[in-house]
């Protein structure tokens, strides 16, 4: 007796997204590895061999201009994006998969230097440079949810709109969509970015995030907690308790990616918590 088992890790229509995600993750880690290697050997007196990675620079005036890998990423994103728009007319899945792969490579190169774009300064190796890692985590999370079959505003079935053209059915769809978006706005105003992001795919999380206490530095706390000190104190205590394991894991991962993997001590965690957690100023006051 022969038993044949077919395991489909991803459906055919999501293959381009999977290729994009895999290319994104691999490019990010390869880029971080190469950048660390270049930095480690930057002060070496030995001339680099032909195969050794090095910074890209072009002659300009009396010196050289460093070309950030973000520039290459922008070019790849633009070219692959235009290609995917063109393929949307009559392209097939294989062509989309190839274009998506290059899009993932370009997106990784851009987001790896997202902090540079945000701060308009080369903060790659500084504290603010960790913003790039946060952006990469967010992109991977969204792509992963899409691959798993989650769709934005998934609490209702959009097929109702297509199959049932009655006024009642379409009114229900619109009302639910508006409520979902309003809940997402409330969650974001409460400072729960990740809950709002994932909640757009898993809608019940939006209800939980909207009901629970706001984060102490969020606009919601600024408007509603500054005149209620007990609630603000609860928000601060809850934030430190919830954020401690997250900060520990985050610092470890960021240090590992940065090339110095170590478990953060309590002093480093407390310092990060003190930097991140603060009470919102009252309306009309400057933070």
Question: What is the block-wise mean pLDDT of the chain (287 residues), using blocks of 10 residues?
Answer: 48 83 93 85 73 72 73 93 85 86 94 81 71 79 80 60 72 82 88 83 88 88 87 89 86 73 81 81 65
Question: What is the model's pLDDT at position 9?
Answer: 55
Which parts of 126-228 fold into alpha helices (H)?
Answer: 130-147, 159-163, 167-189, 193-199, 204-211, 219-224
pLDDT at res. 3: 46
Q: How far apart are CA 133 and CA 112, in angstroms?
A: 7
Q: What confidence score (pLDDT) does residue 1 get?
A: 45
Beta bridge partners of 56: 67
For residue 162, the model assigns a pLDDT of 65
Q: Would you state the pLDDT for residue 25?
A: 93
Of 30, 27, 57, which is closest to residue 42 (Cα–Cα)?
57
**Which pLDDT belongs to residue 7?**
43
Beta bridge partners of 64: 59
- Identify the three-state secondary structure at position 206: helix
User: Residue 79's pLDDT is what?
Assistant: 94
Between CA 284 and CA 287 the distance in angstroms is 10
Alpha helices in the chain (DSSP H): 15-40, 69-90, 93-111, 114-119, 130-147, 159-163, 167-189, 193-199, 204-211, 219-224, 229-258, 266-276
CA 93 centroid distance within chain: 26
Q: Beta strands 56-60 and 63-67: pairing type?
A: antiparallel
- Per-domain boundaries in the chain: 9-41+66-149, 151-212, 215-287
């Amino acid at each position: 007796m022969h038993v044949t088992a077919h395991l489909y890790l991803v459906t055919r229509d999501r293959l381009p997204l999977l290729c994009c995600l895999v290319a994104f993750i691999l490019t990010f880690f390869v880029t971080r590895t190469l950048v660390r290697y270049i930095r480690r050997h930057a002060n070496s007196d030995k001339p680099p061999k032909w195969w050794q990675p090095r910074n890209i620079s072009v002659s300009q005036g009396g010196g050289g201009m460093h070309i950030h890998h973000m520039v290459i990423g922008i070019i790849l994103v633009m070219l692959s994006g235009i290609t995917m728009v063109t393929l949307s007319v009559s392209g097939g899945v294989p062509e989309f998969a190839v274009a998506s792969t290059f899009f993932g490579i370009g997106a990784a190169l851009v987001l790896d230097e997202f902090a540079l774009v945000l701060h308009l300064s080369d903060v790659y190796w500084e504290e603010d440079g960790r913003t790039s890692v946060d952006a990469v985590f967010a992109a991977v999370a969204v792509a992963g949810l899409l691959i798993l079959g989650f769709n934005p505003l998934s609490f209702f079935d959009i097929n109702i709109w297509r199959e049932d053209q009655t006024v009642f059915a379409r009114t229900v769809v619109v009302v639910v969509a508006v409520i979902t978006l309003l809940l997402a706005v409330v969650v974001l105003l409460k400072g729960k970015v990740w809950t709002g992001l994932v909640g757009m795919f898993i809608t019940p999380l939006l209800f939980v995030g909207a009901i629970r206490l706001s984060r102490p530095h969020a606009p919601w706390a600024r408007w509603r907690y500054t005149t209620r000190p007990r609630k603000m104190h609860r928000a601060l205590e809850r934030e430190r308790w919830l954020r401690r394991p997250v900060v520990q894991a985050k610092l470890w991962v960021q240090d590992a990616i940065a090339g110095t993997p170590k478990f953060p001590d309590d002093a480093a965690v407390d310092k990060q918590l003190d930097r991140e957690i603060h009470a919102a100023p009252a309306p009309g006051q400057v933070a």
